[in-house]
Structure 1
């Protein structure tokens, strides 16, 4: 299994358009980027590939990184930075299966799958496939399981991707607070590579109107506000699920410049063989 991180940033990415903060300036000086979130998973046994989330930066990501167009896709939730790149399917794909959860969101009255089917009904080249959380399905020769996480006010999902022949395993936290249900943690556990949402360091919680939550024994917040993990929370979750290797993704340009390019924060283009 070959995993390529196409987009490792949050909703505005780094550098952020129109921003002249130290972190954005340093990213430009280094020639590095954290575009909006997307992960390419290639089954090296079959040559098929799965795209997790359709970044608005889809076109540039596929022009920049040496990966094939996906044979199937998966959408974790309906925030624009994870789904709006699906419009790139127009005149690019002959037929693309897009997997998404079938669980109805009480906030919207629709499932993620239903929202995609309605929003992109003009794309006759995609087929939305409804998937039930915790029920493993096979796509691109890989076993995939969606699990609910905690990203209020909308439903959102993490996932595990396993190669049934080699046993290689990739897990993604999805956009989430530290409050991931225990049943979901069990599915995410013991992965070779864990991609964890870590939007900012815990020190920045003092600047959020809601502060932080899910504090550890020393009082360090593991959740920034209500929707995303802090760096510290993401690393604690990685330890909770016994990840062999962890990369922090969905990071914001609010990281102080002296911390923004330190390990284990990921950058676009990183590639892993599992």
Structure 2
């Protein structure tokens, strides 16, 4: 399994348009980017390509990394930075099966699969494949399982991608607070690589209107507001789940410039072989 991080940024990415903060300036000087969320996974046994989330930066990401177009996709939730890249498959692909949860969201009255079907009904290329959370499905030769996480007010999902032949395991927290349900944690556990949402350092919770929550024993918040983990929360989740390696994604430009581009914070273009 070869994993390429196509997009590791939050909704606006880094550097942000029109922003002259020290971190965005440093990103421009270094030629480093964090575009919107997307992960490219190659099954090295079959050559098939799985895309996890379709970033609005789809075209830029695929050209920049020189990677193959996907044979199938999985969408974790309906926020535009994870979904709206699906429009890019027009005239690029003959068919793209898109897997998504079939659970109806009380907030929208639709499942993620329903929303994709409605928004992209004009694209014959997109073939929506609804799946129940916790139900494993074979996609591109991988066993893929969506699991509920916590990103109010919407239903959102993390997922696991497992290679049956080798036992390699990739886990993604999805966009979530630290309050990942126990049943989902059980599925995410013991990954070779965990990509965990860590939008900002815990110190910035003081500036959020809702502050922070899910504090550790030393009072450090593991959730920023209600929707995303802090850097500290992402790493704590990795420890809780016994991940061999944890990389922090969905990263905002609010990290100090001397920390913003250092591991375990991920940047676009990183690759991993599991």
TM-score, normalising length from structure 1? 0.99
The 5-angstrom pairing of residues 21-170 of structure 1 reads: 21-170=21-170
Structure-2 residue corresponding to 1:183:
183
- Give, in angstroms, the shift of residue 211 of structure 1: 0.1
- Give the Cα–Cα distance (whole angstroms) in 2 for the partners of residues 66 and 187 of structure 1: 32
Q: For each residue in 1:190-228, what CA deviation from the matched residue of structure 2 results, as whole angstroms up to 9, or x when unmatched?
A: 000000000000000000000000000100000000000
Deviation, structure 1 residue 125: 1.0
Deviation at residue 259 of structure 1 after TM alignment: 1.6
- Consecutive unaligned residues in structure 2, runs of 5 or more: none
- How far apart are 1:256 and its partner, in Å? 1.4
Structure 2 Cα separation of the partners of residues 141 and 65 of structure 1: 23
Per the alignment, residue 236 of structure 1 pairs with 236
Q: In the aligned structure 2, how far is the partner of 1:152 from the partner of 1:130?
A: 22
Q: What residue in structure 2 maps to residue 216 of structure 1?
A: 216
Provide the C-alpha distance between the structure 2 equivalents of 1:261 and 1:206, rounded to a whole number of angstroms: 23
Structure 1 unaligned blocks of 5 or more: none
Q: Which runs of 4+ in 1 moved over 3 A?
A: none
Q: Secondary structure at the match of 1:160?
A: strand
Provide Cα deviations, 1:139-187, integer angstroms capped at 9, x if missing partner. Answer: 0000000000000000000000000110000000000000000000000
Q: How far apart are residue 89 of structure 1 and its match?
A: 1.1
Q: Quote the Cα distance in structure 2 between the aligned partners of 1:142 and 1:102.
A: 20
The CA deviation at 1:4 is 0.2
1:8 aligns with 2:8: yes
TM-score (norm 2): 0.99
Give the C-alpha shift of residue 258 in structure 1. Answer: 1.9
Cα distance in 2, alignment partners of residues 41 and 188 from structure 1: 17
Q: Provide the C-alpha distance between the structure 2 equivalents of 1:83 and 1:221, rounded to a whole number of angstroms.
A: 29
Q: For the residues of structure 2 that align with 1:191 and 1:258, how far apart are their CA atoms?
A: 29
**Counterpart position of 2:206:** 206
The CA distance in 2 between the partners of 1:203 and 1:256, in whole Å, is: 11
Instruction: Supply the distance in 2 between the matched residues of 1:261 and 1:43 (Cα, whole angstroms).
Output: 28
SS in 2 for 1:215: coil
Equivalent position SS for 1:221: coil
User: SS of the residue aligned with 2:195?
Assistant: strand
Task: Please give the secondary structure, in 1, of the residue aligned with 2:222.
Answer: strand
Per-residue CA deviation, residues 103-132 of structure 1 (Å, 9 max, x unaligned), is 000000000000000011000111000010
Give 1:66 deviation, angstroms: 2.3
